[in-house]
Amino acid sequence: MNTNFPKEYVIGIDIGGTNFRIGGITAENKLIAEPQKYSSQQMFGNASPTDVLEKVISDFILKFPDYTLKGICIGFPGTVDASKESVISCPNLITFTDVNISTPLKEKFHVPVVAEHDVLLLLSYDMKVHHLEDDCCLVSFYIGTGLGNGIYIHGHFLDGKNGVAGELGHIPVYGKNDSCPCGNNGCIELFCAGKALERIHNTYFPEITFSDIFSHYEKFPQLQEFVNFMAMAMSTEINILDPVHIVLAGGVIHMKDFPYEILCQRIRDYTRKPFPSQSLEFIKGSNDPFAGIIGAGVYMWNNLKNK
Ligand SMILES: [Zn+2]
């Protein structure tokens, strides 16, 4: 056995509104060690966000002296520009808004550095797990705090002119005027994602433990309306794109007793007949807490191979 075989890895970073996770991933998409987790708010309180990233990446690299770093991919819960260098808007971690992430880290570590919307990294992970790379069109919906949306068409993730394609959560709902953190009013994610679920819970049945609310789905029309809103948003995109597969995931979808089959049926109800409605193929996406890190690794290795 050749003991000098180079051990190469990329760093995957998943920055959420709550948790910061970092891990090393080999070209075979395996973690090189248990990933590390920190509190995002504590880490990025007042300090310069790129200084903090530089420090945490430097410390991480020192732990693996036998490995050669080939690239870094960082996922953000917000929009990223088409060059994959800068965060455009990140309402849950405002410190990153309008910050060039890639350039200072490239200069420091001398490897390619990519910033990307976290939903595309989660989709990279789910595509790998379910072997979806050959789908001519694939859409994913991640229902967490907001409605995340990733689109993969003809071998590429859809970025759009500015890098902000797939902001399905921000399509307007007629007659609604609630203000959205994006700056507009009446965006559909205000009625079909985590923030809406908290509001419904607090308003209509605060006595029920939050994590149990979907066990009472049949009793509360507010929860039924919530799922209908979700299905309407998803059906809109499915009618436009006619995807091969539809990946459904995110914290809300994975909650106890979430009415997954009812959601799928509502989507069948709302989509065009006979197609795409009759041929919809749903895949329940991963609930792995490290999916964002491993997905960042998969994404980065694909990026390096295609260079
Ligand atoms: Zn909005």
In the chain, the domains with their CATH numbers are 7-121+289-305 (3.30.420.40), 133-284 (3.30.420.40)
Task: Return left, alpha or beta for 80; rule: phi > 0 is left, psi -120 to 50 is alpha, else beta.
Answer: beta
126-164 pLDDT, tens digit each: 999 999 999 999 999 999 999 999 999 999 999 999 999
Distance 68 CA to ligand 1 centre (A): 41
Distance 301 CA to ligand 1 centre (A): 32
Distance 194 CA to ligand 1 centre (A): 14
162-185 pLDDT, tens digit each: 999 999 999 999 999 999 999 999
CA-CA-CA-CA dihedral for 216, 256, 116, 93, to nearest 10: 70
Task: List CB-based neighbours of ion ligand 1 within 5 Å.
Answer: 170, 180, 182, 184, 187
Distance 144 CA to ligand 1 centre (A): 15
Question: Worst-scoring range by mean pLDDT, 4-18, 105-119, 128-142?
Answer: 4-18
Average pLDDT over residues 74-92: 94
Whole-number pLDDT of residue 231: 98
CA distances from 111 to 5, 28, 68, 114, 142 (A): 20, 19, 10, 10, 30
Res 3 pLDDT > 80: no
Share of the chain above pLDDT 90, in %: 91
Res 91 pLDDT > 90: no
Average pLDDT over residues 68-79: 96
Distance 63 CA to ligand 1 centre (A): 41
Whole-number pLDDT of residue 174: 96
Mean pLDDT across the chain, nearest whole number?
95
pTM, two decimals, is 0.95
Distance 113 CA to ligand 1 centre (A): 28
Residue, of 196 and 18, whose pLDDT is higher: 196
Distance 30 CA to ligand 1 centre (A): 36
Whole-number pLDDT of residue 47: 82
Q: Name the pLDDT band for 4 (thresholds 50, 70, 90).
A: low
Distance 79 CA to ligand 1 centre (A): 12
CB atoms < 10 A from the CB of 159, how many? Answer: 19
Whole-number pLDDT of residue 1: 47
d(CA 176, CA 185) in angstroms, rounded, equals 7
267-300 pLDDT, tens digit each: 999 999 999 999 999 999 999 999 999 999 999 9
d(CA 137, CA 63) in angstroms, rounded, equals 40
Distance 31 CA to ligand 1 centre (A): 35
Distance 18 CA to ligand 1 centre (A): 20
